[in-house]
Amino acid sequence: MKLLQDKNVIITGASRGIGMGIAKVFADHGANVAFTYSSSEAPALELEKELKAKGVNAKAYKSNAASFKEAEELVAKVLEDFGGRIDVLINNAGITKDNLLMRMSEADFDAVIDINLKSVFNMTKAVQRTLLKQRSGSIINMSSVVGVKGNAGQTNYAASKAGMIGFTKSVALELGSRNIRCNAIAPGFIETEMTDKLDEKTVQGWRDGIPLKRGGSTEDIANACLFFASDLSGYVTGQVLNVDGGMLT
């Protein structure tokens, strides 16, 4: 069964990792996929080709998630290219710039807040009018287990991810009466380029602490997104789903 047949979806940061995993699973379910990248042009264009080969409409856009102006321009272009409708927005683009608070620079704090959190404001505001007119839409924000429980060495990242949860719940309250849902996913340890940067000892420590004894895959997160994007979750809004192998249990 195809759960997203002919739905138009925007995913930020899909040139690799979790975003790319979501794009592939969504295309398999019949969704047309507009997605962004900031610098990884070659893999983004490769993904665009791969998605089109699945028989859906797909397009890669270079767009800095931290820029309000670029978010507005992006949404205008997507509306033009995808027939004037947006059904799902996934705010997935994110970065880390880890350090102990003692050593963290103001620039690294600001960069993480701008790309991870302000981007969610930028994109949600940019699609809001379209969703209100349609009286339907699903917004999915990619938070993190770290936003729920905190993490030493990640004050900037944890603050951005916790901020996304407050934003998610507030948007759910503001837009619920117009049939627009907003939910967040809190992935645990998902094995992507972002986690490749960690040393092996840290990685093994994470795995040992997970009840399911493995890191998650991008498909694990994509499947949770599929639930929130589709009618399967038609009566669910303002929620945070931990997809973490039981890490927070």
Which residues between 89 and 108 bind ligand NAP (CB under 6 A)? 92-95
**CB closer to ligand NAP out of 132 and 194:** 194
- Cβ-proximal residues to 143 (8 Å cutoff; 6+ apart), any chain: 161, 162, 164, 165, 168, 184, 185, 186, 240
- Cβ-proximal residues to 212 (8 Å cutoff; 6+ apart), any chain: 245, 246
Dig out the tokens for 212 from the structure: 């399911």
Backbone phi, psi, residue 184, to 5°: -125, 155
**CB closer to ligand NAP out of 164 and 180:** 164
Q: What x/- string results for residues 14 through 33 when contact with ligand NAP is judged by CB under 6 A? A: xxxxxx--------------
Do the bridges between strand 8-11 and strand 32-37 make them parallel or antiparallel, or are there none, so unpaired? parallel
Side chain identity at 178, as an amino acid letter? R
Distance CA(242)–CA(221), nearest Å, equals 10
Q: Which residues are catalytic?
A: 157
Which residues between 159 and 218 bind ligand NAP (CB under 6 A)? 187, 189-190, 192-195
Q: In whole angstroms, how close is the CB of 119 to ligand NAP at the nearest point? A: 7
Q: In whole angstroms, how close is the CB of 227 to ligand NAP at the nearest point? A: 17
Q: In whole angstroms, how close is the CB of 74 to ligand NAP at the nearest point? A: 10
What does each C-alpha distance from 83 to 68, 87, 118, 130 come to in angstroms?
23, 11, 27, 12
Q: Which of residues 26, 37, 82, 167 is near ligand NAP by CB under 6 A?
A: 37
Is 59 a binder of ligand NAP (CB under 6 A)? no
Which parts of this chain interact with ligand NAP (CB under 6 A)? 12-19, 36-40, 64-66, 92-95, 115, 142, 144, 187, 189-190, 192-195
